[in-house]
Structure formats: C-alpha cells, structure tokens
Amino acid sequence: MSIQTPSDFPDTDAATVTGPERPASEPEAKGLSQGQIVRKKFFDNTGAIISLVVFAVVFILAFTSVGFAGIPGWWKYNHTEFLPLVNGGAPTVTGPFSWGDHPFGQDSIGRDYFAMTMRGTQNSIIIMFIIGALAGLVGVVIGACSGYFRGWPEAVLMRFTDVIIIIPVVLAAATLGEAVNRFVGPGAQIWLLGLFLGLVLWTGLARLVRGEFLTLREREFVDAAKIAGASNTRIIFKHILPNAVGVIIVNTTLLMSSAILLETALSYIGFGVKAPDVSLGLIISQNQEAFQTRPWLFWFPGLFIVLICLCINFIGDGLRDAFDPRQKKFSASRAKESGKPAAA
Amino acid sequence: MVTYIVRRLVTAVLILFGASFVVYQLTALSGDPLEDLRASNAPNRDQLIQARTELLDLNTPAPLRYFGWLAGAAKCIVPFAATCDLGSSIQGEAVTTSLSRAMGNTITLVATATVLAIIIGISLGIITALRQYSGLDYGVTFMSFLFFSLPIFWLAVLLKEFGAIGFNNFLDDPDIPPSTIAVVAIASGLIWALFASKSWKRKGIAFVLGAVVAAVLLFLLDLVGWFANPGLGPVVILVTGVGIAFGIVLLTAGLRNRKALYSSLIMVALGLVAYYVVNPVLNAATIWMIIILAVITVLVGLGVGYAMGGYDRSQSMRAAALTGLLMGFLIVVDRFMVTWPSYVSNPRVRGRPIATVGAETPGLEGTFWINGRDTFTHLLLPTLALLLASLASYSRYSRASMLEIMNMDYIRTARAKGLSERTVVMRHAFRNALIPLATLVAFDIGALIGGAIITEQVFAFSGMGQLFVQALQRTDPDPIMGFFLVAGILALVFNLVADIAYSVLDPRVRVKA
Amino acid sequence: MRFGRTSKAVGVAAVAALALSACAANTGTETTEEGTEGEATGGNIRVVEVNAFSSFNSSTSEGNVDINGKIAYATHSGFVYINNDLEVVKNEDFGTMEVLSEDPLSVKYTVNEGVTWSDGEPVDGGDLLLAWAIESGYFNDSTTDDAGEVVSGATYFDYAGDTSGLGLTELPEIGEDGRSITLNYSEPFADYEVAFGLMSEGGIDTPAHVLAEKGGLADEDALIELINTTPAGDPESPVERPEIQALADFWNTGFDTKSLPTDPSLFLSNGPFIASAITPDQSMTLTRNEDYDWGPIPKVDEITVRYIGEAPAQVQALQNGEVDIIAPQASADTVEQLEGLEGVTVEQGNQLSYDHLDLNFSGVFEDENVREAFMKTVPRQQLVDTIVKKINPDAAPLDSQLFLTDQEPYEETAANNGSDAYAEVDIEGAKELLAGATPEVRIMYNRDNPNRLNSYTLIAESAAQAGFKIVDGGLGSSDWGAALGNGTYDATIFGWINSGVGVSGVPQIFKTANGSNFNGFSSPEADALMDELIVTTDPEEQDRIQIEIDKLIWDSKYGLPLFQVPGVDAYSDNVTGIEYMPNQTGVWWNFWDWQVVQ
C-alpha cells in the first residue's frame, strides 16, 4: 500500500505553521511520536486487531500447509494429486484437532480439497496484494500529481486515466489470459494476472485522490506551508496526503477485497486463473453446481473469501481511524472506556 | 465553463478513438474465433471455416480491420443520416439492434438496484458514522461486507432457494409455524437492539419491543390469511401515513414546526380521501396516469404547504409534497397488493409467483397492475442480489466521509451556536459529506450500463453484460466494440459530470476554463 | 388561535375520511376480474434452451445454431426424421421417398396433396427444387486460394450443411403433378436417405413463393424457370448470376431476426407449430398450426421456449415450477441435484460426441510397439469411473472408432475389432513392449476443458508408470484447435461428434490426408473400403464395411476412443411423453408426444 512512512507524519493542522522541523517527534509533556499515536490508536481498535490476527492465521495456514515457491509444506497432499475417494468425498474433519484424511473433503475426481483451498487462498492473497500495492501506488501518485499541480499535468494524467477507465476490465483480463496461456505458461499466471489487473484498476482511486487533493490544496495549512517555503514534494507527502489517508485506505482495502471477487467473477466466465493452477474464485465457480449436493465444495473456499475480505476491510478501517490526524473525539472516548474492565 | 465542457468533449472523442483501437486489438488477441470449427469433423469443415473467415474478414490483420469497423462506426456521428453501422454479430444480427435491446433490459434491471443501493448505502454509512464503534456499526459493517464478499452466484442461488422456491411453496399453504415466528421475532429484536443506544437497559427494552411487535404482526397476518390475500386497507394506510408525516417533518423541518406538521397531516387526510376517489379510475391505469397523478399530488402538497404559510413556507411545502408522494405510493402499493390473488392464479403463473429467471412470464397478458406485478416478481431477486452486493462500498465511503466531516471545525461551531443535532447533521454535515460521494455516484451510474455480468447470467437476463461476455467468448469483435462504445461514452460523460458536480458542490474547487 | 383552527381543519378532514371509509368499506379497493385466458384443451409446455433464437433459417452458416434448428424442426415437415434409436423414419403423411433405381441411384420425392404452408400456398415441386438448388450448391463456382480467400466466382447460398451428396445429382425435373422431383445421382450415394428433406435439418423449410417475391422475381414459376435456365456453377469458368445472387442474398440473411417479423411470410410454417410471439433473448412461443395434419399430430397447443444458459439456473427454474422440461449441461452435481427433486423425472444417456486419444503415426510413435505400449497404459475404465459414471451410471469405455453405443452394430464391432486388449491397464505388457526404452511423449489437449484436463492427468500418471516421460502440452481453449495436426505433439486428447446416421463423416477423419485426419493415419486397405463405403446405399452393407474399417483402425494402433459424453434431461411430473435423444435435436425429437397431465 501507499502509506509507507507512518513514523513522521506531523500533526498537520498546527505543526506546519511552526516550520519545517518535526515538532511532533520532539518529546513534550505527554508527547508521542506520530508513529506511536498511530500504533496506539490501531492497537486500541479491537475489530482491527482481531482481524489482523485472523488474517495472519489464514496467511500462515495457506503458505505453510501446501508450501510456497518450491518449499514443501507440512500437508501431505498437493492440489493436483488424484486420490481414491474417502467417505464419498465428504469432509473428514470432526473437530479442531481431528482433521482426518481430507478435512475439507475431496472434489469429484478425488483431489484433496484442503490442499486446493489452501493453494487457492495463497494465490488469491498474492493477487490481492499485487493489485492493492500496484493500484494503490499508481492511483495515489497519479491522483496526487494531477490534483495538486493542476494545469497541463492534470489534463494529461486525467485523460490518460479516462483511456484506461473505458477499457473494459474483463476484456483486458481475457486478453491477458490468452497471452499468458500462449507465451508464459501457467506458472507465472497468478503474478501476471495480479500485475495486469493492478495496472487497470487504479483509475477509481486516482480520481478520488485527485478530488481530495483539489479540495485540500485550497486549505489554509497548505498556504501556510507554501509561505513557510516547503517544497511541492513535501507538501504533497507530508501535508496533504495524511489528510487524504482516510479515503485512500478505504478505497485501497475495498479494492483489495473486490480484487478477490473480481478474480472470482473472471473465473466464473472463464477468464480468470486457469487450471491446473487454482484460486478461490476458480474452485468456487467450478463447483457452483455442487451447491446443494456437495455443499462443502462451496463453503470452504467461500469461507476463506469472506474471511479475507472481512479481515482486510476491518484492518483498513482500523488503519483509517489510526491515521486520521483529526480523529480525536472518538479515541478520547475510547480511552475513557478502556479504563473500565472488559470494555468493548 | 462552456469552453471547458467543449474542450472536454473534444478530448473525449480523441480518447474514444485511441481506446477503441486498443480495445479492438485486445479483442482480436483474446481468442480464436475459429476454435469450434477447427476441431470439427463435419464433412464440410473447410467450407465452414472459409465462410467464417470471410464473414469476420480474418485474413486482414487486426490493425487494418479496425479501420473497416471505424468507417462504419463513423457514420453514426453523421446527424440524421440513420446510416449507423456498427457491424453485426457472428449470428448476423446488427449490433445496433442488439445494443438497444440489451440497454433497455440492463436499465430495468440495474437502475432500481443502483438507486436503492445509493440511498440505503449512504443512509447506513451516515448512521454508522454517527454511532461509530457501536454494536450497530460493527453489525452493519459485518453484514455489508459479508454480502459484499459472497460471490454473487452464490447469493443468487440462496435467494432463489429461499426467496422464490421456498416462498412459493409457503404460498401453497400460507401457514407460519410458531418456530418461524420465534426466529423472526428474535431476529427483529436483535435488529431493534442494535439500533438502540448504548445502555444495556435500553437495548433490552428495544429487543423485547422488537421481538413482540414482529411476533404479533406475523401472528395476525397469518391469522387473517394476509399472505394469500394481501392488501393494506384504509386503516393501515392512515396509520402508516401519519407515521410518515411525523417522520418527514422530523427530518426536514423538526417537529416544532407545527405548520409543516399540519400540512403533512392534511396531506395524509387528503390521501385517504383520494384512496376512495381515485380507486375506480385506477382500474384502467397506465404508467402515464400514475405519473400524472404523482405530479398532481406534488402540486397539491406544495399548495397545502403554501396555504399553511408560516415563517418558513418552503419547509411546509417540501414536507407536504413529500408526504403526499409517499401516501400516493402507499395507495399504489395497496393496489398492486390486491391484484395478488388474481396474478397468482393466472394459468401462466400457475401459483408460483416469485420467479427465478427472466424478465417476464412469457405470454402473460393483463392489466397494468398484473403486468406490473409480473415485472416486480421477476425483478425482485436479481435486484436484491445486486443491492446487497453493492451496499458495502456506498456505506463504507459515506461512513468515512461523514466521520471526517463530523470532526471539522465548522461542525463544532454549529454545535456551539446551539443548533439542534438534527440541524447539525442534516444541514451542515450531511451535505458536505456527500461531496466526495458525488464522484463515486457519477461513476457508478456511468458504469451501470455496463450491466451486471454475472447477475444477468444467473438470472437469465439478457442485458449488456451478457451481450459482452457472450461476444467475448466467441471472439466476436463487433458486439464487443458496440458495448465498448456505449459504456465508454457514458463513462466519459459521467466523468465530466462528476468533475462539474465537484466544482458546483464545493465552491473552493474551480473549473478552469 | 390560528393553530386551533388548523387543528380543527385537520380533525374535520380526518373525520370525513374515516366516515367515508366506514360507509364505503367494501368498495375501497375493488379488483376487476383480471383477464384469465381460458386454458385451451392441449395446454402449454415450457421448455428450456441454452441459446437464444436468432434466425428462421437454420441452414445458413450464421443461422446454424442448435436452437434455430429445433425451432425449424417444430415448424417444418420433411420426408424423414430420426428417432432416438438413431434410425431413419419416413413421414409418409408428408410425402413419399421412392427409390426408382439403385444403380444408377435415382430417388423420387413426392409431396402429398393438401400439404400447405401456413399462408395456404401448397408445398409443391417449386419448394423441392429450391431446396435442392440450395443444398446441392448447384450454382457455386468459387475457387479459393490457400488462405481461404475467394479468388474467383462466388458461393451463392451460404448453406451450412454438406453439399457433396446432392452435388452428385444433376438438375432435377419437376414431375407432372407439380408436387414431385426426381434426383438422379451420378454415382451411388451412401447417405441418400438423409440427404434431402431431413426434418432435423429443417425439412423443406424455404417457401419458394416467398423467396421468389423477396428476391425480386415475379412468382414461384419465375423462380423455377430461373433455376432451370441458369447455368450450373463451374469453378473453371465462373459467370455472374445476378438473379440467383439476389435470391441467395435474401436467403442468407433475410430470415435472420431475433424478434417476430411483422411480415408473416418470413416465418411460414408447414409443420405442427408456428411461431406466435418472441421476446428477444428471453423466450419464444410456438402455437399449433391448425391446418397441419400431415405427420405426427402434437398433443399440446402451445410450446413456450425459454432461454436459460446456466445449469443451476435451469434446475432451480424447474424446481420452482417456472418451466417443464430442461436439458442442462450435464455434470455429476446437476444430476444428483435433479434426482433429489420431488416431482421431477431425470433421463440420462449418451451424447453423440465422444472423447478420444489419438497417437501420431510419426515421431516417437512411429514405432507401432510404442503406440501399442502407450495404449496399454491408458486407464479407460478409471476415466469413465471418475469423469462420466456419476452423470451416466451405465457408462462404459467406448470400444469402437466408428460406432456409438446407441447404434445397432456397436456390439458386433466391439467384439471383434480387438478393443478388448485395452480393456484393462497393462503396465507390465507395456514395459515389455518398450523393452526398457523411455520415450518422451508430448500430449496436447484443451487445458480449459476440465474433462480433458482430468483425462490427461489420469493418462499421464498411468503412462509414467510404464516408463513414458510425459510432457504436458496442454493449450488454452483458443489455441488447441489451431494446433491440431501441426506436428508439435505426439498424442492428443479431444472430441469428435458422430452424426449417428450416415457415413460421410468416416473418410473425413480416417482417409489418408483428409481434412480432419490429424494424426497421419494411412491405410490403403481402409482407403479402398471407405471409397466403397460412400457409394454403398444398402445399410447392411454399410455396416459390414464399417466394421471392417473399424478393425483396420484398431489393428493399426491408431489410438483409443475414451468415452461418450453423457447427457441429461429432466422434466416435471406435469408433463409426459419426453424421451431421451442423443443427437442434437435433443428432447425435441418427439415433441408431438409431449403431453400436459391434466
């Protein structure tokens, strides 16, 4: 994501007037550095913390169980082996510690569904992060530059955005799928799919960031910073960006979770990740007919999609609230509550 | 401003040229239109391949073929010539024909869902922002993300299973078992409790209240056989109308504005009278008649508000007109409800009113009310699926935007002035919170025409999305280009609208001429 | 007290309203009897199709979509139709097909008196002559270069079917009665029975009087005159035929429509049903053709066709009672789900397409022993068990390269073509044949088709045990077709469609250097038999020759047929008379037997 320097955001409203130093990081009476404030706010947010933990568990499970990048995992099967059907392919998990042979069951030709789901989760997370990082970066840079500089950079960048906006994403993905099939081979398709989707999905974010910048650049503290002699880069990254962080984070996290769904949709119409590799979207749409007869083929990948989406969004929410330099009232009331036992 | 718009439109045309070239090449690269024929063992395989090669002009390289398409498409710009030629699909249908049909279908499907999603989503976002970190906030966030992250075909299967098949089975023998009543009551209680404020005592009261109300309501409806024979009737309309009047006045003018309250109540009374007077006329209703009646209602409402006078006439007028409109809506709803039995027993419907596929019951011929019913029962599920799936983004954005606004200095100032919380929220915060959303909404309306690819597919609804995907699967360039033209032009136009709206809503942002 | 006055006013209004409501409580909301159309005697059946209707002419290459063919089947009549045992059945009520002489082959077609188009015009010799002119490619004189570009002449009627059969006939004459034509073949043609007037190919589907008018001619007689006088096409010396071109132009595109044309002559029927309403891309309604009595009489009055693409959506629509008959894309889960529904009957069977493994007769497989060793490793039973069994419990590996299990000679040929040698996987036998060699085999297949992918995985796994080094040559769905026969692979898995009737398809695949012979199979003996086959008109004799060819193919270690693709259809208990049909006509084949349970 685009927010990489959290440690020294100044408290924008007041601090910039006093000069280019970083008063926030200087020890004051009950002074905390911006980073500390952000961290404290974030860790105070129960929803976000729970989500972070859940997501970490999912992440670790997915990457260690079936291995990653040639490193073998601890799970005994992989997602391509055909195995004899055990228990008619139904899940064998009976409790948290008695998983049985095929905890998530097997698909119709006997592949272990746990291995498939884990591998799919891995791939979906990879796609999600590539899209989030790439689209976030491109969107913020283009949006910020055009919103801040206006004039010809804005005209050029926004018209470029327009061109990208009107090219249907599905078409781009379908064409890419073909190209991958033809030239690259299936190994790299996850990365390329993420890369390519990231390169077309930044447009909404760019426009939103530009909108924020258009408003924010007219604000008093920007004028103040200019008078104080701050450079454009500094104003963009230190003064305006922290104020736009809410919109950026909400948008990027929504984008990341919708990336998983977009991949699902693409798989559904036959243009997403292609076999023999798997993604959550692919296995869920391949088995959509099994909804009533073998629901586990649906529930497990579905559960992971929902888990990832929920976690990402709650984490994003927590980050948003933590970064928002103006958010005082609510954290104050929370601070009061946290004195009580078992609050929240 | 005018120069600005003209300049933007000119660039838009250039953008379309550039992007259409890219899209055409992407389409050509996206597959092999001869795939099915190559692996065919038909005795005349070579002849079929040749015919299709010729039809799609495959021996010309794609970059050159593009100009062939462009030459046809350029004719569309010639005004009044009616020679628009966007090519035709592999099956030989002119793209212009299929586009206009698909557009109509898509708009009927997606428009309601989008508008509802915007209204409900923004309301939820604002309410959750005002109650940040409450149970309500978490609950709504959780639910909206849950719906958001469910694959839509999954949602569709569930909706069909319970909303259509289950409900239709229920209608065969409309009798609600006590266990269902209990479950619904508890669910309703929980929802009420979520909306109640923080203290546990009040939550408890709300829970009990919600549960009891739901249980009693269900029990009564079940008792009088309402589900087989629905309707509102004058009493329910009156009670609901009074509720609406109070609600509207509360939101728009505040209950202390007696004039507004009275004008609204007068509209309720007039509505009840109209319920009897207009009824015979409604038998021969058409959509235009309904629209005209709506306009008359609004005018009467404005008149009543004006007649009531007072220090702030416009508030009374607004409240009365809105109340009148909603009363009219209630009457129309009641009217639709009473056609229910004759709709259900129609031989084409065969007692299974809620449909899982398509846009209409084939061959059904009836009055405005019957056909309206039919459209409703067919659109219900897909609209719901789309609505649920798109709630999250609106509620998230508006929540974020509202939170930001509520911490602004001018909100503090407004409170310090002693304004009521209603005025602060509705007049000062709400409007400003909508500004960043304007971009989002404008975009979504532009993207609306692109259709909902998967929803259209699972509900067998042939709109733009399906047109596009089917053409893509066949590597059929002309329909794809047609789709792209329509979607692209709309996206560009609403892009422009968003920019202009931005400068109108936020006076600090000026559009450079 | 102004507020008081207003309150009073509101109060009075409320009281008035309530009073009104009290005295008029019953008249409050009154519904007129909404027009419930009286249900006609035969009732209405609602059947689901995957694709949307797009043309009233299903014979052009653009209109040649399954749904158009089915509508044509229901709205036209012909001399023969095909039943679900894949036998040719004559419809003598429509007209007669009479073999005047076997050699030279001469067949006379006569339409019965009283058979008419739905506008009252009789179906007569002009219609037959026109059908012949279209389906024989009589006027075509185009030549094409290697790239498929037309270099000279023209193809007039864009007919999607095969013109080679009727191409052997000379210009027929209309009989004295005006209702018959006689086709004289220059050499015996094996498939003559299904060459003309076959109902599943639309029967006699173009009304000559309409085409004459639309194509700018005075009347049907002018059309007959034109066909009789215009020179036959000769690619060597192409000539312009502007009048034929005008006719062909209309025939090629004039009947294409997604909605019901305002001009009824564009959708004339001479069959049991006639189109009465169309909602584009949604549904279509066929109603009984009241005049029709020349063939099986339908029992229902109306058929509504609805287009639903997705299998789960079809199943739920059936479950919700919105439709009566569905034929979804078969999958194990769909079948299981359908079987779990109450009030629904499921029919399972095979389709006419089958998957097969072909080995190239070159490269690593040039050695017959290597081919045989590979064939020994193919786990055909396991493929059937994992891929097909759940959809069609009766499925078994396909044991013939020429016949399908639904065809009568199948048992005989399977018993004697040597296929039993490959019934079981024989890894030891394969190792012996390989004698320690580890040939590298590249298998090409469509990676995007899950069945093919699964077949590949199972075959590769088994072959590896015998020492083969398998290279995954799977390609995406848009590339594999173009790669067929290009020599970049050693073996390939894909599907053929067997028409079920007729033998013209055989040489297309198996004759030396023919269009769809991708693996380089070449046997002079088989070539000679195939030459004989296509001029043999006696069905018994055809079967005998095919059985011989089948054995030659198996003996040459050609590769293996794997399994027939399973199919399924289901219908609600509201209707009866539906029977499974393996060919592309599907459930429609006996639509006249469909009946609503009263």
Q: Scanning every residue of chain B, which has its alpha carbon at the shortest distance from the alpha carbon of A327?
A: B407
Q: What's the one-letter identity of residue A120?
A: G
Residues 6+ apart with CB under 8 A from B356: B160, B164, B165, B381, B459, C313, C316, C317, C320, C322
Predicted confidence (pLDDT) per residue in C560-570, tens digit:
999 998 889 99
Rounded to the nearest 10°, the torsion over CA C409, C410, C414, C419 is 130
Spatial contact of B300 and B230, defined as CB atoms under 8 Å apart? no
Flag whether residue C334 sits within 8 Å of chain A, measured between CB atoms: yes
Tokens describing residue C20: 């009104």
Distances (CA, A) of B173 to B222, B223, B351, C465, C565: 11, 13, 11, 61, 42
Predicted confidence (pLDDT) per residue in A272-298, tens digit:
777 667 888 888 877 777 777 788 888
Cα(C112)–Cα(C293) distance, integer angstroms: 11
Tokens describing residue B172: 């065969």
Flag whether residue C440 sits within 8 Å of chain A, measured between CB atoms: no
- Residue A232: alpha-carbon gap to chain centroid: 29
Flag whether residue C435 sits within 8 Å of chain B, measured between CB atoms: no
Q: What is the pLDDT of residue A56?
A: 92
Q: Scanning every residue of chain C, which has its alpha carbon at the shortest distance from the alpha carbon of B36?
A: C481
Distances (CA, A) of B53 to A186, B35, C143: 30, 12, 15
- What is the number of domains present in chain A? 1
Give the pLDDT band of residue C15 (cuts 50, 70, 90): low
Instruction: List the single residue in A181, A286, A287 with the smallest CB-CB distance to C475.
Output: A181
Cα(C342)–Cα(C348) distance, integer angstroms: 17
User: Cβ contact (<8 Å) for C505 and B42?
Assistant: yes
Q: What percent of chain C has pLDDT over 70?
A: 92
Tokens describing residue B436: 């960043």
Q: What is the pLDDT of residue C32?
A: 43
Residue A229 lies in a domain: yes
Contacts of A275 in chain C (CB under 8 A): 447-448, 450, 453
Predicted confidence (pLDDT) per residue in C402-440, tens digit:
888 888 888 899 888 888 888 888 888 888 888 888 888
DSSP letter assigned to residue C184: E
Please name the chains neighbouring A, where neighbouring means 3+ C-beta pairs under 8 angstroms: B, C
Give, in degrees to the nearest 5, the angle at Cα B225 between B224 and B231.
Answer: 85
Cα(A262)–Cα(A285) distance, integer angstroms: 12
Give the pLDDT band of residue A97 (cuts 50, 70, 90): low
Which H/E stretch holds residue C440?
strand C440-445
Q: What's the one-letter identity of residue C234?
A: D
Tokens describing residue A206: 């760019």
Contacts of A151 in chain B (CB under 8 A): 512
More confident residue, A81 or C226: C226
Cα(B323)–Cα(B270) distance, integer angstroms: 11
Give the ipTM of the model, two decimals please.
0.83
Tokens describing residue B296: 């008359």
Instruction: List the single residue in A159, A264, A330 with the smallest CB-CB distance to B11.
Output: A159
Domain ranges for chain B, please list them: 2-85+475-496, 100-174+225-445
Q: Scanning every residue of chain B, which has its alpha carbon at the shortest distance from the alpha carbon of A243?
A: B404
User: Cβ contact (<8 Å) for C479 and A270?
Assistant: no
Q: What is the pLDDT of residue C268?
A: 92
Q: Determine which of C12, C21, C583 to mutate to test the interface with B (most B C-beta atoms within 10 Å).
A: C21
User: Cβ contact (<8 Å) for C476 and A178?
Assistant: yes
Cα(A99)–Cα(A91) distance, integer angstroms: 9
More confident residue, B414 or A317: B414
Q: Determine which of A292, A297, A298 to mutate to test the interface with C (most C C-beta atoms within 10 Å).
A: A292
Which H/E stretch holds residue C302?
strand C302-307
Please name the chains neighbouring B, where neighbouring means 3+ C-beta pairs under 8 angstroms: A, C
- From chain B residues 326-355, the ones with a CB under 8 A of any chain C CB are 334-335, 338-339, 342-343, 345-348, 350-352, 354-355
Q: What is the pLDDT of residue C287?
A: 93
Cα(A264)–Cα(A302) distance, integer angstroms: 10
| Spans in chain B with pLDDT lower than 70 | 39-43, 78-83, 197-198, 446-447, 450-451, 508-513
* CATH, residue A129: 1.10.3720.10
Distances (CA, A) of A27 to A16, A326, C355: 17, 20, 76
Instruction: List the single residue in C333, C340, C475 with the smallest CB-CB distance to A289.
Output: C333
Cα(B299)–Cα(A247) distance, integer angstroms: 41
Give the pLDDT band of residue C576 (cuts 50, 70, 90): very high
Residue A36 lies in a domain: no
Instruction: List the single residue in B41, B47, B346 with the smallest CB-CB distance to C36.
Output: B346
User: Cβ contact (<8 Å) for A286 and C447?
Assistant: no
Q: How far apart are the first and last CA of chain A?
A: 29
Strand, helix or coil for residue B164:
helix
Query: For residue C257, how many C-alpha atoms fall within 13 Å in the half-sphere facing its CB?
Result: 18
Strand, helix or coil for residue C110:
strand
Closest alpha carbon to A268 in B471, B454, B27: B454
Tokens describing residue A259: 């990336």
Give the pLDDT band of residue A96 (cuts 50, 70, 90): low
In the predicted structure, residue A45 carries a pLDDT above the cut 70: yes
What is the number of residues in chain C?
598
Q: Residue C353's beta-bridge partner residues?
A: C497
Instruction: Tell me the mean pLDDT in the region C112-118.
Output: 91
- The two counts, helices (H) then strands (E), for chain A are 14, 0
Cα(C589)–Cα(C583) distance, integer angstroms: 9
Flag whether residue C316 sits within 8 Å of chain A, measured between CB atoms: no
Instruction: List the single residue in B59, B266, B334 with the smallest CB-CB distance to C29.
Output: B334
Give the pLDDT band of residue C37 (cuts 50, 70, 90): very low
Tokens describing residue C354: 């089958």
Residues 6+ apart with CB under 8 A from A145: A153, A154, A157, A236
Q: How many Å is the Cα radius of gyration of chain C?
A: 30
User: Cβ contact (<8 Å) for A108 and C333?
Assistant: yes
Give the pLDDT band of residue C326 (cuts 50, 70, 90): very high
Q: What is the pLDDT of residue A2?
A: 36
More confident residue, C33 or A61: A61
Cα(B195)–Cα(B206) distance, integer angstroms: 8
In the predicted structure, residue C40 carries a pLDDT above the cut 50: no
Residue C517 has a CB neighbour count (10 Å cut-off) of 19
Cα(C547)–Cα(A322) distance, integer angstroms: 79
What is the number of residues in chain B?
513
Which H/E stretch holds residue C81?
strand C80-82
Range in A14-28, C63-77, C300-314 with the lowest mean pLDDT? A14-28
Tokens describing residue C343: 């009030």
User: Cβ contact (<8 Å) for A293 and C461?
Assistant: no
Contacts of C282 in chain B (CB under 8 A): 358-360, 362, 460, 462
Q: What is the pLDDT of residue A327?
A: 57
Predicted confidence (pLDDT) per residue in A110-121, tens digit:
778 888 888 889
Q: Between the ranges A64-78, A309-323, C364-378, where is the mean pLDDT highest?
A: C364-378
In terms of phi and psi (left: phi > 0; alpha: psi -120 to 50; beta: otherwise), the region of B48 is alpha
More confident residue, A164 or A324: A164
Cα(B403)–Cα(B410) distance, integer angstroms: 14
Spatial contact of C325 and C569, defined as CB atoms under 8 Å apart? yes
Residue A33 lies in a domain: no
DSSP letter assigned to residue C55: B
Global confidence as pTM: 0.82
Spatial contact of C29 and B279, defined as CB atoms under 8 Å apart? yes
Predicted confidence (pLDDT) per residue in B381-440, tens digit:
999 988 888 888 888 888 888 888 888 888 888 888 888 887 888 878 887 888 778 777
User: Cβ contact (<8 Å) for A274 and C447?
Assistant: yes
Q: What is the pLDDT of residue C39?
A: 44
